[in-house]
A and B are shown apart, each in its own frame.
Chain A
Amino acid sequence: MKLLKIELKKIVTYRTFWIIFGLYFAFLALGIILAEFIVNAMVDDINKRLPIPLPHAVLFNFPDIWQNLTFFASIRYVLIFPAILIIILITNEFTNKTVRQNIINGMSRSEFLISKLQLVLLLALVITVVLTIVIFILGIAHSDIQNISQLFVRFSFVPGFFVQMVSFLCYALFFGFLFRNTGLTIALFTLYCLIIEPVIYFFLRAPFIWENKIYPYLPVNAVIRVVEYPAIPALKKLMNFQLQEGISLIACGTPILYSALMIGIIFWSFNKRDL
C-alpha cells in the first residue's frame, strides 16, 4: 500500500493524466451512445434485402448488456487510451530520471516495478468498476422486470474485461520499460496495436488455411478475443457469429501468459541494467 500511495501522489495533481482519463471516458460514453444507433442502421440496411425484416437490436437490456458493453469497451481504439496513460506514467519516470532518484532514495528495483504493477491493477480495477456501474444503470433503465431476473447471467464478462484491461496495460508497461521515451513508446505501441498486428493478420490470412488458428494468439488480438462478439441476435444469424455464452478460461489464458512473460522480462532486464 505504501508503494501505491507514492504512485497516487504522482498522479493526483497531474493534469495530463486527468485529461486523458477524461477523454477515455468521454470516448467510451460516445461509443456506447452511438453503438445502438450504428448497429440498427446496419440492421435497416440489411433489411432492405431481406423478405422478412430482422427486428431492431436491443443492446442495453439484461443480460446482453454485460457482453455488449464489455465488447465495445475492449475494441482496440478504446483500449489504447488507458494504455497511453500507463505509458506516460512509466516513461515519465525515465525521462525525468525520477526512477534513479527513487532507487537512490532507498527503493529497490523490484519495489519500483511492483509499484507500477500495482498501478496497472488499480487503473484496470477503477475502469472495470466504472464500467460495471454504467452497465447497472443503463441495464436497469432499459430492461423490463423479466429481464432483471436475469441480471447476473452474463456477469462473467466483467472479470473477463478486467483480464483484458490488466493484460493490455501490462503490454503498455512492457513497451514503456523497453523504449523509455514517451513519444516514441506511444507511437510504437499504437503502431503495433492498430497497424502491425492487423497487417500480420492480412498476410497470414490469404495463403494459409491455418489463419484463424494463429491470429487469435497474437498478443493484442488475444486480448480483444476475450470478448469476441457483441450479443446481437440479428447480426449473429447474418454474419455467422458464434454464440458466446460467457468467458472462456482458455481465451483468458493467452493474454495472461503474454503479460506474465513480459513482466518476467521486465523484472530480469530491469534488475540487470544501468539506470
Chain B
Amino acid sequence: MSETVLSIHQLSKRYGRIQAVNQLSLEVRRGQVFGILGPNGSGKTTTLGMVLDLVRSDSGTYTWFNEKPSKECRKRIGAVIETPNFFPYLSAAKNLEIVAQVKGFTYSDIDRVLTLTGLFERRLDRFRTFSFGMKQRLAVASALLNQPEVLILDEPTNGLDPQGIAQIRNLVQQVALEGFTIILASHLLDEVQKICSHVAVLNKGNILFSGEVSKVLAVADSLEISSNDNEALKSALAKHPHFSALSETNGMVSAVFKTYTPPEALNQFLVQHGIFLTHLCERHRTLEQHFLELLNDSGS
C-alpha cells in the first residue's frame, strides 16, 4: 500500500438542523485519483472545507501526510474550492504571484502553469475580464503551481460550456497521468467515472459506498437466469443464502447478490435441486445505477 495522503476519521459538521457531514471517514493514498461523488448538498464541499481549515468541524479528526494539520501541510496542497477566488482588479499573473507568495514559492513556475492552462497570452489581463471558463482554468493553474503533492478540485467543470468542460477534463487527465494525487468532488457521475481511480459516494453527509471505480464497474451485482420451470427456480433460489431479491420479467428471473456467487457455483447448486438452466448471464450494474440505488436506499 502506498503512503496515506489524507486520512479523515469520524468528521462531523452540523449547520443548525442540518447534519452536513456525519461521522465521515475516508482515506486517500498517494497516486490515487479520488472522486467524491454526491448530489448537491451531500457534504462534499463541507468535507473539503473542513480538511482545508475553512470550516470548523464539530467533531472528528483528519491528518495530511500522516501529520497533524497545519498551514505548512496546506502549502503542499493545491486546491480550488467552489468558485475561483481571485482579485478581479488584478491581472492573472499578479493573482498567481500572490498565491506563490503565500505558499512561499518564487514566481518561476507561474509561466508554466499559465501555459499549461492556455492562459499565457492573457496573463496581463485583469481577472475580471476573463470568461467563466478562463477563470476556472486560472483556478486550476493556481492549484497546479509548483507541483503540489495533492490536487483538490471541487466541481471544476460546474457551470462550464461543453468546450470548457472538455478543456478542464483533459487537463485533469493529463495531470493524473503524471502521477499526481487528485481529490475531485463532483455531482457528475460521468466525470468521476472518466477521471477517477477511486470513489466515495456521499449523500446527506454519509458515505454510502467507497472503493475502486474499476471494481464497482466490473463486479456483477445480479444474475439473469431462466429455466423451463421458473417457479421451481425461484423457490430454489430463495433457499440460497447469497441472493437478496428475486424478480421476474419476460420469463427472465433476475437474482440480486447479497454476496457475489460465481455462475458455475450457482449452476451446480441448481443442478443439485434438479433445475437445469436455459439461460445464465451475469449483469453488471453501472456506477450510475449503483449511485442512484444508493441514493434511493438512503431515502432521498
A residues whose Cβ falls under 8 Å from a Cβ of B? 2, 5-6, 9-10, 13-16, 92, 96-98, 100-109, 111, 272-275
Contacts and interface: CB of A to CB of B under 8 A. Distances in A.
B89 A16 contact: yes
Contacts of A6: 98, 101-102
Contacts of B161: none
Given A14-B89, A92-B87, A100-B54, A2 B74 contact: no
A102 B52 CA distance: 11
A101 B85 contact: yes
Interface stretch (B75-83, B183-191, B224-232): B75-83
20 contacts: A5-B101, A6-B101, A6-B102, A13-B89, A13-B91, A13-B94, A15-B89, A96-B85, A96-B86, A97-B82, A98-B86, A101-B99, A101-B142, A103-B54, A104-B79, A104-B81, A105-B99, A106-B75, A106-B77, A109-B53
Interface string B219-237: 0000000000000000000
Interface string B52-91: 1111100000000000000111110101011101111111
B121 to A, nearest CB: 19
Interface in B78-117: 79, 81-83, 85-91, 94, 97-99, 101-104
Contacts of A107: 71, 102
B85 A106 contact: no
A16 B103 CA distance: 27
Given A6-B98, A106-B75, A98 B85 contact: yes
A260 B173 CA distance: 51
B118 interface: no
B71 A108 contact: yes
Nearest to A17: B89
A104 B49 CA distance: 9
A103 B52 contact: yes
A96 to B, nearest CB: 6
Interface of B: 49, 52-56, 71-75, 77, 79, 81-83, 85-91, 94, 97-99, 101-104, 142
Contacts of B94: 9, 13
Contacts of B86: 96, 98, 101
Contact of B71 (A97, A100, A106): A106
A108 B72 CA distance: 9
Contacts of B142: 101
B282 to A, nearest CB: 45
Contacts of A274: 49, 54-56
A16 B82 CA distance: 27
B77 to A, nearest CB: 8
Contacts of A111: 71
B85 A97 contact: yes
Given A6-B98, A273-B56, A105 B75 contact: yes
B146 to A, nearest CB: 11
A55 to B, nearest CB: 52
Nearest to A108: B71
A122 to B, nearest CB: 17
A16 B79 CA distance: 29
A32 to B, nearest CB: 31
B56 A9 contact: no
A2 B87 contact: no
Given A109-B53, A272-B56, 6 more contacts: A2-B101, A10-B87, A101-B99, A105-B102, A106-B104, A274-B56
